[in-house]
Amino acid sequence: MDYQVFSLSERSDLIEQVANLDNNSWPVFLQNSDAVSWSSFYSELSDYVLVLTQSDNVIAVGFTVPVTWNQKAERLPQSIESVIQQGIKIKEIGETSNTLIPVGALVDSKVQGKGLSSIVLKEMKKLANSLNIDTLVVPVRPTKKSSYPLQSIHSYAHWRREDGLLNDPWLRVHERLGAEIIHISECTLQVNSDLSNWSSWTNMVFPESGQYIIPGALSYIEVDIASNLGVYREPNVWMKHPM
């Protein structure tokens, strides 16, 4: 499909459209996670935000972060916040990066189903090449895991269809581009908040302590009535793309 691609720093006039797509693409509770430096994509890290447009309408966005990584799975960043913090620090000190980590690939709902998610990933590879970065590794959020919140992410990530491809559609997009699973994390985002917030975000009540399944979550939240606290831990599947 026809589109134009820019960095957000090149098209700061599109910030409002990008922010609207960003806000509308995540469950509300995730917008209150421990990734408190996400706003840096609109300032320090705007060079690494890819914006795809048609007639100046934003149709897709890719949030990426250049970091330094030693290629060992056990040394991957522990959280999305740590990814962003590393990117900010590397830019501040002018350190050379060897790895690009995309932490969000968003497609406007009006143009979904046209292969844009694959296009965004391909544009991320082009960005990595332009930065002389030779590794693209992605903490993938499996889109259909929310339908199976009680299943282990370690098993779910490896479910396959009869044709042999990964069952989860977003994992499968990466797999079709040659990516392989290299690590599975049980928590790369965490949301800790009081129960009134959780009720507001989910339209649910939490009258007793225990585990609750909430809309849009990849796993359950743990509720502690005595502490007036609900805790959610978001898993991710790290996939490395061939360059």
What value does the mean pLDDT take over residues 151-170? 98
The number of beta carbons lying within 10 Å of the beta carbon of residue 189 is: 23
Does the predicted model carry a pTM greater than 0.85? yes
Parse the chain into domains and list their residue ranges.
4-190+232-241
238 strand-pairing partners: 139, 183
Whose CA is closest to 174, among 125, 226, 210, 228? 125
The per-residue pLDDT for range 89-135, each reduced to its tens digit, is 999 998 899 999 999 999 999 998 889 999 999 999 999 999 999 99
Q: What is the CATH code of the structural domain delimited by 4-190+232-241?
A: 3.40.630.30
The per-residue pLDDT for range 61-88, each reduced to its tens digit, is 999 999 999 999 999 999 999 999 999 9
Query: 82 is written with which tokens?
Result: 């740590």
